[in-house]
A = this chain, B = another copy of it.
Amino acid sequence: MSPPITPGEDAEATLLQGLYGPRHRFCPTPNPQLKVVLSLDREIDLVELEGICDAVGWSRRPLRRVRKALQNSLLCVGLWRHHPRLPRLIGFARCTGDGVIEATVWDVAVHPLYQGAGLGRQLMAYVLDELEQQGVERVSLFADPGVVGFYSSQGWQLEPLERRCAFWYAP
């Protein structure tokens, strides 16, 4: 049996559902003042996303292209610092793919101010849980040298069957 829900808890649940959608998930952090929420449904503010990309040192792209890329993604996940009126985007990840056999993870970022608290791992776990629920067989990503350990410690297989990654850049 679930514990009884008090009126306050009920109002809080309604607020969170309204802000972050039905599939949101809390991220425990070492700081009790910091309430962080993962969401598949809350719309990503592109200017806030650009701020995170700047902070982690990625090159800028035209916002209209980013908007279209996000619209065409299989899923976009936002990591939010909770605030009842104005949640702030502090992390992000997205996937492309066919939603059945293959999905590929891109643009995994946590704002440097919020790194080191295990939020990146919780972000990736949330992405994989969602893809697994969709029935995707295999998920892939391209890891920069600095994050290879981050992924391999979470059950990702590095270069299985000695596969190598190759890129082609538009001229």
Chain A residues packing against B (C-beta within 8 Å): 61, 65-66, 68-70, 72-73, 96-102, 104, 106, 128, 131-132, 135-145, 148, 151-152, 155-171
Residues of B within 8 A of A158 (CB): 164-166
Query: Is A159 within 8 A of B164, CB to CB?
Result: yes
Q: Can you report 9 A-B residue pairs in the complex whose CB atoms are below 8 A from each other?
A: A61-B101, A65-B100, A96-B96, A96-B104, A135-B170, A137-B169, A141-B165, A142-B163, A144-B162
| Known A-B contacts A98-B96, A164-B158; A170 and B138 likewise in contact (beta carbons under 8 Å) | yes
Query: Is A72 within 8 A of B98, CB to CB?
Result: yes
CB distance from A149 to the nearest CB of B (A): 11
CB distance from A103 to the nearest CB of B (A): 8
- With a 10 A CB-CB cut-off, give which of A98, A135, A141, A171 has the most chain B CB atoms: A98
Residues of B within 8 A of A66 (CB): 101
Query: Is B166 within 8 A of A141, CB to CB?
Result: yes
- With a 10 A CB-CB cut-off, give which of A102, A166, A171 has the most chain B CB atoms: A166
Known: A132-B171, A141-B165, A159-B165. 4 other contacts (CB 8 A): A69-B99, A72-B98, A152-B166, A159-B166
Residues of B within 8 A of A104 (CB): 96, 102, 104, 140
Bound-state CA distance A143–B144 (Å) is 17
Residues of B within 8 A of A166 (CB): 140-143, 148, 151-152, 156-159
